[in-house]
Structure 1
Amino acid sequence: MSRAGGTWVGARVPRNEDARLLTGRAQFVEDVEPPGALHVAFVRSDLPAGRLRGLDVDRARAHPGVAGVFTAAELGPLCRPGAVLVPPPPIEGSVFHARTALPLVRDRIRHQGEALAMIVADSRYVAEDAAALVEADIEPLDPVVDLEGALDADAPRVHDDLPSNLAAHVRQTKGDYAAARERADLVLGRRFHYDRGIGGAIENRVVVADWDARADRLQVWDTTQAPIPVRNVVAAALGLSESQVRVIAPFVGGGFGPKIMFYAEEILVPWASMQLGRPVKWVEDRYENFFATTQERGQLHDSEIAVTREGRILGVRDTFMHDSGAYDPYGLTIPINTQCTLLGPYRVPNYESEFRVAFTNKPSVTPVRGAGRQHGVFVMERLLDLAARGVGLDPVEIRRRNVIGPDEFPYNHEILYQDFAPLRYDSGSYEEALEEAVRLVGYDKTFPRERERLQADGRAVGVGVVNYVEGTGIGPYEGARVTVEPSGTVRLATGVGTQGQGHFTSFAQIVADAIGVAPSDVRVVTGDTSEFHWGTGTFASRGAVVAGNAIHAAARAVREKILRHAGEALEVDPDDLELADGVARVKGAPEISVELGALALAANPLRGAVAPGTQPGLEATSYFGPPYGTTANGTHAIVVAVDPETAMVEILRYLVVHDCGTVINPMIVEGQIHGGVAAGIGNAFYEELVFDEYGGTSNASFMDYLLPTATDVPPIETAHIETPSPLNPLGTKGVGEGGAIPVAAAFAQAVEDALADIAPGLEILDIPLSPGRLFELLRAHPNSRPNSRPESSGGLS
C-alpha cells in the first residue's frame, strides 16, 4: 500500500499483531519455560477470617521433588505490608486508613484465598501434592460480610488496630443542594445496589523469574499492565538496583484493570529464584483467580435528585458505601471515580456527595474495566428515568434538557478528580451523540412499528437510551523512542504493555503518519523494561492519549532529523521535501530521493569530523504528560425483548455513538467498544459473585459464575464522532472503557420500558439484574417495591 505521510491516522489498517496471535506464534508468559525451571503452588486459606496459630510444613518439605517450602517466618524483612499504589487525592476533611497485605499470612487471615505458604518443586503436580500435606491450625473468627453492617459499632474488626471497619470517608460538594431541594418541584430518592464481579481475563496471572548470579541480573516475565512499576518495586524489595532487574510483559491475554495491581507473587517468585538459584514459575489456576486476584466493586447508594416541573436538574445528593474488601492498595480511585462520573454530561449546579469505604472479609477491590464509573452512571441515569416519569417527560427529552452544550466547554464541575485535578471536561459532543443514537435506533419512527411487530409473538419489547462521560488519559506521563535503522525498518519502543488493545497497529500508524512509511514497516516493542525505562502503565483508557502523544512527539522529532539530513544529501531546502514510501523525495520530482535507511546509515559515521552538538542516528525520545485528563463521551441505545413468563431477556439491537476525539484506527476503536459492551452485558445481567454468610465464595468456577458468550452478545453497531481534545497534539481521548460503563443503565431502562404495560411502575434498582432477580421483581410487583428506600420525597407541587 502506498501512502504519503500524514494519512495513516484515521485509516482502517488491519492489526499488525493478529498474524502472530492467530497462528500461535505470539509469546505469552505461560509459554516461557526456562531450562531447569521450578514450579510454585500456594497453600491458601479456605476461611475468610481467622487467626493462624501454626503451620506444619514438615511433610511438605520432605516430599520428593520439593525444592523449598516458605512461610512468613522464612521471608525475614521481605514479610512487610506492600505500599499503597495510588494515594488518594488531597480532599479537605477526608479520612483514609491504608491497609495492605503481607506477602504471606503471618497471623491474621482476612479473606478467603490469602496465601499461607509457598511450595516450590520440580513440577506443578509435585508442588500441589506437597501443598496438600501442609497442616494449618486456624482459629476461625467472626467474618465481616455484609457491606451495610460492616460499619456497625459491634461489627467484628477486619483490622484490629483500627477502631472500626471504616477505611475511608470523603465528602465533596458544589453549590447548595439543601437550598436547591427546597425550591424543587419534584424530589425523589432511591436506594441502588451494584454488586461484585471478577475481571475474568482469558489468561490468568503468571510470573516467571530467572536470577543469573554470574551476571548479577534478575529477569522476570509477568502478565502485568505496568512492567516498569513492577521492576521498580521488585528491585527495591530485593535490594537490587533497577538496572539489575528486567521485567518483560509480552502479549497478555486480557488485563481489564486487575493486572495493574502489584501482587505478592510478583515478589515471592523472583525472591524464590534468588534463594534457590534456579528459574521459578507460577501460573494462577482459574479457581485461585476468584480469590487471589482483585475484584470489581460492590456499592450501596442512597441517592436523591431535585428537578423543576420542566425536568431541569437543580441538584443531586448521593451517599454511598463502597466495599474495599480486606485491603485498600489502590487508594480511593474507584469511589472517587464513582463520585465524579455520576455527574455525567449534565448541568448539575448543586451536588452533595459523600462516601464511606468499608473493610470486609472479602478479596480486595481494585479497578476493573470502568473502575467505579459504571456505578455513577447507573445512579444518575436511573434517577433521570425516575424523574422523567415523575414529571411526565420522555426519558430522552429529560436528557435533552440537561446535557451540557457544545459552547460550554471547558466545563468545570468544581470537585476533585482521581488525578488530583479539578473535574473539568475539556470538550465533548453530548447533544450530537444523543441525537445520533436516537436517530439510529429509530426511537421516534421505526422502533414503535418494530415493537408492535415483535410483541405479536408474546414478547415484551423495550428501548433504552443513556449517556456517559468517561475521564480518560490521565498522567503522570509516558515516553517513547523512535529509531530509523539502516535497514529502513523503523523501531518504536514504549514502556506501556499491551493486553489486546491493538497497540502494535495504532502506535505504528502514528509513527508511519509522521515519517512516511507503512505501519507494517514499524516494529513496535512494548512492555520490556530493557527497551524503555520510564513510564507508568496501561490503565484508565490512557494508551492513545499519553503514550500516543509521546510517540507522536518522538516521531515528529525524527521527521525533522530526516528532512535535515535528506536536505543535505540532496542539496535542497528541507521545506521542499516530502516523506513517503520509505524515502525522502523532492516535491514534484519524486525521482530525486534518498531512502531512509541510507540516511540512517549516514547519520552514524564511523570516520570523519562531527559538528559539535550533533546527535548520531535518526532517533528521538520524547515524553508526554497531560495537564489533566481528557473526557470521552457517548450515548448507548439498546432494544430488548423480555419473556414475561421466564424473565429471560434477549438483546435485539445495541448501538454505541461515541466520541474519543481523533480516531487513530476506526476498526480498533470499534473492537474496543465491542469488547467493552460485552463486559458491560456480563456486568448487567450475568456476572455476580455469591458470598455465603461466612464470606466464602459459592460460585468460584465458570460452571457457576456466568460470563456472556458469543450467543449472548449481539452485533454491536457503532458511530464515530470526533471532537478533538485541546489537551494534546493528536486530539485523542481514551476509548478502552466507554463500551462497558453505561450498559447496565441502558439495560435497566430498556427492560422497564418493555414491561411498562405488564408491570406498570416497575423499578430496576439492582445490578446485576439476573433472570432470577427479574423474575422475583415481576412476581412481587405491584405489592412491594424492593430496595427503593428512601421513598420518593414527593410529587409535583
Structure 2
Amino acid sequence: MPKDQGIGASTKRREDVRFLTGKGRYTDDINLRGQTHCVFVRSQVAHGRINAIDTSAAEAMPGVIKVFTSADFAGKGGVPCGWQIHDKQGNPMLEPKHPILAEGKARYVGDAIAAVIAETLEQARDAAEAVVIDIEELPAVVDMKAAVAGGALVHDEVGSNLCYDWGFIEDNKGAVDAAIKSAHHVTTLELVNNRLIPNAMEPRAAIGDYNSASDDYTLYTTSQNPHVIRLLMGAFVLGIPEHKLRVIAPDVGGGFGSKIFHYVEEAFVTHAAKVVGRPVKWTAQRSESFMTDAHGRDHVTKIELALDKDGHFLAIRTETYANMGAYLSTFASSVPTYLHGTLMAGNYKTPHIYVNVKAVFTNTVPVDAYRGAGRPEATFQLERVIDKAAREMGIDPIEIRRRNFVQPNEFPYQTPVAVAYDTGNYQATMDKLVQIADIAGFEGRRAESAKKGLLRGLGVNCYIEACGIAPSNLVGQLGARAGLYESATVRVNATGGIVVMTGSHSHGQGHETTFPQVVAEMIGIPEAQVEIVHGDTANVPMGMGTYGSRSLAVGGSAIVRATNKIIAKAKKIAAHLMEASEGDIELKDGKFSVAGTDKSVDWGSVCLAAYVPHNYPLAELEPGLEETAFYDPSNFTYPAGAYACEVEVDPGTGKVTICSFAAADDFGNVINPMIVEGQVHGGLAQGIGQAMLEAAAYDANGQLLSGSYMDYAMPRADDVPFYMVDHSCQTPCTHNPLGVKGCGEAGAIGSPPAVVNAVIDALQRGGHKHVTHIDMPVSPVRVWSAMQG
C-alpha cells in the first residue's frame, strides 16, 4: 500500500486549495492606502540617442503627481550583474551600467525612458502618451556575429559589443585539437538554440512603499528570491541599508527563471515611493512583459564530436555565440558559461572537451536564465551531434550512447569540465526507457503511419544536469557575487505545532506540501501540524530563493539541519522528564521513549515543557524550542535521464505531430511522487514548446516581431501528448541529507533534442537522407522546406 503521509507519499498540494478557489494573494491583489499608479514610457526604437524629454504636457494632465526621467536618479547605481566572468586571458567581462531609466541612449525596444505616476492607472496611461521624447534613431545591431564584427556599438563607453570571450577549460584546448585532428571520424553540426519568451501566467508587478516615520522601505514584488532583490537593490542601486528594506514576494504565478532577477521597475517604485510620499504600484501588461521580461536561450553554436572507429567519443569542441541582449541581467553571464560548459560531458566518458563562448551585446531584450539555464543548451548541442554521428557511422542511436556511458562502478566520476558526478546509473534509465516507450514495437507503429501516408520517426536522447547550485566557495571562485547556501528556522510552539521559515520561495513547486512531509517524517507527527512561511525578508533569515532545482536539495537540507537541532534539544527535555540518559532516548511516531523500557512521553508534552518549564533542566537548557540552520552544499546534484519521442510528419505540409513521449528520470530519493510527475509534465511541455512552436523574432531594425500571442506560439493541450513518466531508477545523492537531486528543470532540458531527433529520423526513414538537421522550432514551413532540399 502506498504511504499516505511523509516522505514518499503523493500528498495533495495544500496550497492548491487557495489557488483553485481564487483566494491566492498575488502582488497585483495588494492595494495600499494612498496608493498611486505607475506607467513607464518605453523606447519604440531599438537604438536611439535621447536628445530631449518634454514632460510638461504630461505633468499638467489630471491626476498626474510626477513624471520621472533619468535626471531623478542622479547618483544612483545601475542594476548589477550577479556573476563576473573572466575571459580566456583572465580579463574581467565588460560590464556597462544598466540604469533605472535610460541615460543618454535607449538600447532596445521596451527600454524604460520615463515614468508617469498618477492617482489612477488610466490617468497614468493617458499622461504617458503625452510625454514627448526627441530621440535620434541609430543603426541597431541584432545579429551576434555582425555585432562582434564591427556593428553599431550598444554601449559606446565600453568600446565593444563583445562582453567576454571565454574558454573552458583553456588547458584542454591543445589536447582537444589534437584528438579531433587524429580521430577516425569527426561529426560537425551548426545549430541555433532559439530565443524564448518565458510567459509566466502572472505578469511581473511591483509596489513600493515608504514609511517616513521609521525611514523604512517595503517592496512587494513578483520574485523568486526576495532576499537577493533586497541585497542587490539596497546595496548596489539605491543605497538603502538592508535593515531598512523589506522585500515581500507573496503568491507568485510562475517564474521559470524570469522572476529571479532584479529588474529596474522594482528599484523605480521603491525610490519613487519616497519621492512622492505615497505607495507606487506598477503591473505589467502582457505586451509589456514580452519586451521587458528577460528572454531565454539565444545561442548559435558549432559543435564537433571526434570518435574512434568503434564509435567511442574522443573529444568535443564547441564555439558558441551567446546573446546577452542590451544589458547584463542578474545571472546572464553565468548561463552560457558555468551553467553550460560544465555540462558538455553529458552522461558520457569523453576524455577531452573544450568550450568557447563569446557573449555579445545586441539591441534586444536582455537574456538570462530560463528553465534549465545553460543545461538545455548544452544537452541540445551534445545530443543532436551524437545522433548525427550515429547516422554517419551506421550505429544505432541507443547503442552509441550505451557504449559511451559513464558506468555505475565509475562513480564518483570526474569530468574534464570541472564537475564531478557523485552517483548515477545511465544504463538503468535507458533500460527503463526502452521498456516504457516500447521501442521494440516502433516498427509496427511506423508501418501503421505509412498506411496513412505519414512518416513516423523515433528520437532518443539522454540528459544530465547540475542543479542545487553550489557550493559557495566554488561558485565564488567562478565569479558568483553571492553565496548559494540556504537557510531555515524551525519554530515549535507550546502545543506542538511547527512553523518552518525557509529562504526558498515557492512559485508552483509545492513547497507548502513537500517541506511539511519532510519535517513530519522526521518527528512522526501529522503534516497538518507543520506550516511553511516564505517570501518575506522580515520573517525569514537570509535566503537565496528558488531556481536551479535547488528547493529540496539545498532549502530542504537546511530544514533537515534545523529540525535535527530541534530533535536534539527535545531529546534532552524528554530525558529529563523521564529521568533517563539522553543517549537512551528514541523518537518514533511522535513519541519519545527510553530504549528497552515502557517509559515514554509524547511530542506535545515535551513541547509544552519547553515553554512551561516547571519541570525543566534550566541549568542545561534555556526555555523555548526554536532553531536556525544554514546549509551550503559540497557539490551540485546530478539528475539524469533518458527520453524518447515519436512523431508523425505529413510529407505534404511538413506538419509534425507528437504521437508519444516517454521520460525515464533519476531524481534520487523522491519526496512526493505526484508533485515530481507534475514538474516533469510541465518541463516537457516547455521543452516541446521550444522544439516545435516558440521563437522570439526580431527584424533587422531591432523591432520585436513576436510581441504578442498573435505572433508567439505557445504550446496548447493539443500540441502535447499524454506522457509516460517514470522515476523508479533512483540513485540517491550522496552529499545531502535527503538524497534528493532536483526535478523541476529536467523535462525542459531533455525534451527538445528528443523531438528534433525524432523529426530527423522520420525524414531520414522517409527517404530524405539529405536532411541532417533542422533548427528549432521545427515548424511546418521549416520541415517542408528541408524536405524540398
| Partner residue of 1:714 out of 703, 708, 721 | 721
CA shift, 1:100, in A, is 3.8
Structure 1 residue 655 corresponds to structure 2 residue 662: yes
CA shift, 1:91, in A, is 6.6
**Structure 1 pair 240–375 and aligned structure 2 pair: CA distance change class (3 A):** closer
Structure 1 residue aligned with 2:455: 460
Letter paired with 2:784: F
Letter paired with 2:37: H
CA distance in 1, matches of 2:285, 2:244: 30
CA distance in 1, matches of 2:386, 2:363: 35
Structure 1 residue aligned with 2:687: 680
Alignment of 1:86-235 (within 5 A): 86-88=83-85, 93=90, 96-153=93-150, 155-173=151-169, 174=172, 176-235=175-234
Structure 2 residue aligned with 1:333: 334
Q: Deviations over 1:274-295 (max 9, x none)?
A: 1122121110111111111110
CA distance in 2, matches of 1:202, 1:564: 48
CA shift, 1:695, in A, is 0.5
Structure 1 residue aligned with 2:262: 262
Structure 2 residue aligned with 1:348: 350
* Aligned partners of 1:518 and 1:581 also within 8 Å: no
Structure 2 residue aligned with 1:768: 777
CA shift, 1:458, in A, is 1.7
Letter paired with 1:715: F
Structure 2 residue aligned with 1:15: 13
* Aligned partners of 1:60 and 1:133 also within 8 Å: yes
Letter paired with 1:370: G
CA distance in 2, matches of 1:435, 1:172: 33
Structure 1 residue 442 corresponds to structure 2 residue 438: yes
Task: Identify the range of structure 1 (11-20 vs 322-331) with the bigger mean alpha-carbon deviation.
Answer: 322-331
| Partner residue of 2:561 out of 539, 545, 553 | 553
Task: Identify the range of structure 1 (559-568 vs 527-536) with the bigger mean alpha-carbon deviation.
Answer: 559-568
CA distance in 2, matches of 1:338, 1:710: 30
| Partner residue of 1:728 out of 736, 739, 744 | 736
Structure 1 residue aligned with 2:486: 478
CA distance in 2, matches of 1:140, 1:170: 32
* Aligned partners of 1:438 and 1:465 also within 8 Å: no
CA distance in 1, matches of 2:494, 2:589: 15
- Aligned partner of residue 111 in structure 1, secondary structure: coil
Letter paired with 1:461: R
CA distance in 2, matches of 1:91, 1:11: 49
Task: Identify the range of structure 1 (564-573 vs 48-57) with the bigger mean alpha-carbon deviation.
Answer: 564-573
CA distance in 2, matches of 1:178, 1:90: 20
CA shift, 1:537, in A, is 1.5
Structure 1 residue aligned with 2:535: 527
CA shift, 1:597, in A, is 3.5
Structure 1 residue 700 corresponds to structure 2 residue 707: yes
Structure 1 residue aligned with 2:673: 666
Structure 1 residue 511 corresponds to structure 2 residue 519: yes
Letter paired with 2:9: A
Structure 1 residue 537 corresponds to structure 2 residue 545: yes
Structure 2 residue aligned with 1:324: 324
CA shift, 1:88, in A, is 2.7
CA shift, 1:77, in A, is 1.5
* Aligned partners of 1:630 and 1:733 also within 8 Å: yes
Structure 2 residue aligned with 1:387: 389
- Aligned partner of residue 302 in structure 1, secondary structure: strand
CA distance in 2, matches of 1:437, 1:533: 42
**Structure 1 pair 182–91 and aligned structure 2 pair: CA distance change class (3 A):** closer
- Aligned partner of residue 702 in structure 2, secondary structure: coil
CA distance in 2, matches of 1:716, 1:576: 50
**Structure 1 pair 726–289 and aligned structure 2 pair: CA distance change class (3 A):** same
CA distance in 2, matches of 1:749, 1:275: 56
- Aligned partner of residue 621 in structure 2, secondary structure: coil
CA shift, 1:21, in A, is 1.1
* Aligned partners of 2:489 and 2:541 also within 8 Å: no
Alignment of 1:301-450 (within 5 A): 301-329=301-329, 330-336=331-337, 337-415=339-417, 422-443=418-439, 445-450=440-445
CA distance in 2, matches of 1:152, 1:100: 23
Moved over 6 A (4+): 1-4, 586-590, 606-610
CA distance in 1, matches of 2:597, 2:512: 33
* Aligned partners of 2:680 and 2:744 also within 8 Å: yes
CA shift, 1:241, in A, is 2.6
- Aligned partner of residue 630 in structure 2, secondary structure: strand
Letter paired with 2:42: R
CA shift, 1:668, in A, is 1.1
CA shift, 1:429, in A, is 1.5
CA distance in 2, matches of 1:546, 1:14: 23
Q: Give the alignment's TM-score, normalised by structure 1.
A: 0.93
Structure 1 residue 753 corresponds to structure 2 residue 753: no
CA distance in 2, matches of 1:560, 1:516: 15
CA shift, 1:575, in A, is 5.8
* Aligned partners of 1:208 and 1:280 also within 8 Å: yes
CA distance in 2, matches of 1:322, 1:239: 32
**Structure 1 pair 137–626 and aligned structure 2 pair: CA distance change class (3 A):** same
Structure 1 residue aligned with 2:479: none
Q: Deviations over 1:318-368 (max 9, x none)?
A: 111111111123352111123222321111112222121111100111101
CA distance in 2, matches of 1:14, 1:588: 38
Structure 1 residue 502 corresponds to structure 2 residue 510: yes
| Partner residue of 1:38 out of 36, 55, 70 | 36
**Structure 1 pair 605–664 and aligned structure 2 pair: CA distance change class (3 A):** same
CA distance in 2, matches of 1:576, 1:570: 11
CA shift, 1:568, in A, is 2.2
CA distance in 2, matches of 1:534, 1:403: 40
Task: Identify the range of structure 1 (130-139 vs 364-373) with the bigger mean alpha-carbon deviation.
Answer: 364-373
Structure 2 residue aligned with 1:626: 633
* Aligned partners of 1:515 and 1:559 also within 8 Å: yes
* Aligned partners of 1:250 and 1:498 also within 8 Å: no
- Aligned partner of residue 373 in structure 2, secondary structure: coil
Structure 1 residue aligned with 2:477: none
Alignment of 1:777-788 (within 5 A): 777-779=786-788, 781=789
* Aligned partners of 1:145 and 1:694 also within 8 Å: yes
Which consecutive residues of structure 1, in runs of 5 or more, have no partner in the other structure? 416-421, 782-797
Task: Identify the range of structure 1 (166-175 vs 319-328) with the bigger mean alpha-carbon deviation.
Answer: 166-175
CA shift, 1:142, in A, is 0.4
CA shift, 1:656, in A, is 1.0
Letter paired with 2:199: G
Q: Deviations over 1:120-153 (max 9, x none)?
A: 1111111111000000000000000112211113
Letter paired with 1:519: E
CA distance in 2, matches of 1:568, 1:285: 61
**Structure 1 pair 453–36 and aligned structure 2 pair: CA distance change class (3 A):** same
Letter paired with 1:286: R
* Aligned partners of 2:224 and 2:545 also within 8 Å: yes
Q: Give the alignment's TM-score, normalised by structure 2.
A: 0.94
Alignment of 1:39-78 (within 5 A): 39-78=37-76
Structure 1 residue 611 corresponds to structure 2 residue 612: no
CA distance in 1, matches of 2:736, 2:269: 40
**Structure 1 pair 767–177 and aligned structure 2 pair: CA distance change class (3 A):** same
Letter paired with 1:381: E
* Aligned partners of 1:273 and 1:280 also within 8 Å: yes
Letter paired with 1:305: L
* Aligned partners of 1:16 and 1:520 also within 8 Å: no
Aligned positions, number: 768
Letter paired with 1:624: Y
Q: Deviations over 1:155-207 (max 9, x none)?
A: 11111123321111011243712221233221121211122111110111111
CA distance in 2, matches of 1:610, 1:594: 16
CA shift, 1:609, in A, is 8.6
* Aligned partners of 1:41 and 1:127 also within 8 Å: yes
**Structure 1 pair 386–239 and aligned structure 2 pair: CA distance change class (3 A):** closer
